[in-house]
Amino acid sequence: MSRGMTRAMTLPPVTLVLGGARSGKSRHAESLVESAVGACVYVATATAGDDEMAARIAAHRARRGPRWTTVEAPLDLVAALHSECRPGRAVLVDCLTLWLSNLLGADRDPAEAGAQLIAALPALGGPVVFVSNEVGLGVVPDNAVARAFVDHAGRLHQDLAAAAQSVVYMTAGLPLALKSAAPARQNRLRIART
């Protein structure tokens, strides 16, 4: 479904959008959340550690309209989800690989944090769309830290994909449904042309 033409729908409880860098995953995830009826909440895991990252964050914010509320959760993602996921709103988490990087940088256990995230999913009060970078398609990294990161990301993706009702892989701006739970359309349709 394109950003220019959307139908109001109910999202499944958990959606995972995976893809490589600049694959269109954030835009696609935003369009999914915007297609839902109600408020849109963006849970940001990024921190502006340098000018380039600050510019990326600013570009993401500028792309989203006034319907969006932004919540920053670079480390305490589960607490943010418990707070923000409730009826009448859809939540977007962008992105899980930055969250994993933050956890590693703060000397927190990514496996434990990932298990806590998966355990929290059934109790969330509204739909959530997770965005993450697929980092396991290249060569095996040449250092232990990078290999550990790829391992943690791969395990988290597998666990989240198993728990999710919908999983989408993005490449070149095109979505490929890996696991699908057809969203229920609301009785009234909303068509937005831009």
pLDDT at 55: 83
What is the DSSP secondary-structure string of 2-61?
Answer: -SSS---EEPPSEEEEEE-TTSSHHHHHHHHHHHBSSEEEEEE-----SHHHHHHHHHHH
Asked if omega into 40 is within 30° of 0 (cis), the reply is no
Residue pair 35/6 in contact (Cβ under 8 Å)? The answer is yes
CATH 3.30.70.20 fits 15-180, yes or no: no
Nearest to 85 by CA among 124, 37, 114: 124
Q: Where are the alpha helices (DSSP H) in 42-193?
A: 51-63, 77-84, 96-105, 110-120, 144-163
Residues of the chain with pLDDT under 70: 1-9, 182-194
Handedness of CA 171, 138, 110, 46 (dihedral sign): negative
Query: What integer pLDDT is reported at residue 8 of this predicted model?
Result: 56
Dist. CA 8–CA 32, nearest whole Å: 10
pTM over 0.75: yes
The pLDDT of residue 7 is 53
- pLDDT, one tens digit per residue, over 14-52 is 999 999 989 999 999 999 999 987 899 999 998 877 888
60 catalytic per annotation: yes
Which of 60, 82, 152, 157 is flagged as catalytic?
60
Residues near 45 by Cβ (< 8 Å), separated by ≥ 6? 73, 74, 77, 93, 94, 95, 96, 98, 99, 102
Going from N- to C-terminal start, the domains of the chain cover 15-180
The reported pLDDT for the residue numbered 191 is: 34
How many CB atoms sit inside 10 A of residue 29's CB?
A: 26
Torsion, Cα 176 181 186 192, to 10 degrees, reads: -10
